[in-house]
Amino acid sequence: MFKAALVCINSKYDFGEETLYGGSYRSEEDLGEAVTDLREREGKIIYFPLTVSDYSGELNTGDQGCFPDGLIFVSYAKVFKEYGWKRMSRQRKEQIEKYLQGEIDTYNQWATGDVWWFCIEDEDGEHLESCGGFFGREYCEQEAQEVAEGLVHGLLIDAEKTLAAWQQNGYLEV
């Protein structure tokens, strides 16, 4: 999967792969200049302006009523290479825009501490399984449930094999 680029254009913040011109963009005209500079360097791009929440560190897309602090973008060339496309239709552009929004959503989960891990223990507190790095509590809970079900299934299979062996060796009559 291609990697979208985050670019900071406000010297007040430090995020993304680079800060354009020391973060000196401060007007809509300057934002247009930043986009023009990116297009000259990268070719045709798909992008969203971003603002940073001073309180949470979250990145927001869309019109927040203030000047953007950065951009998220990907070049058409990267998209074409990744997907093997020759042209960009409206539906494909919408697909890529959803991908860019997903990148922002993941960044925001990280920025706000919405990254989880789970540990499964038996009744004696013995560690059975653990895993971490899940973005979103619900996703972590789903994965933990699947792992727990797999552990139970494995225990049932082991118990069935043990019972079958006992039966075969005459230790157990059913």
Whether 121 and 103 map to the same domain: the answer is: no
Q: For residue 147, what is the enclosing H or E element? A: helix 137-168
- pLDDT on residue 153: 79
- 174 located within any domain: no
pLDDT in tens for each of the 174 residues of the chain?
667 777 777 667 767 665 555 555 566 666 777 788 889 988 999 988 888 887 777 888 876 667 777 888 899 999 999 999 999 999 999 999 999 999 999 989 998 999 999 999 888 888 989 999 999 999 999 999 999 888 887 777 766 777 677 667 766 565
Helix axes 90-111, 76-83, angle to 10 degrees: 100
Same domain for 98 and 129? no
How many domains are contained in the chain? 2
pLDDT at residue 17, as a whole number: 66
User: What's residue 69's pLDDT?
Assistant: 78
The pTM assigned to this predicted structure is 0.73
Which domain does 45 fall in, by range? 5-111
Q: Are residues 99 and 32 in the same domain?
A: yes
Task: Check residue 89 and report its DSSP letter.
Answer: -
CA 84 → CA 44, 47, 81, 93, distances in Å? 16, 20, 5, 14
- For the beta carbon of residue 78, count every other beta carbon within 10 angstroms: 19
Per-residue pLDDT at 114: 95
Are residues 152 and 128 located together in one domain of the fold? yes
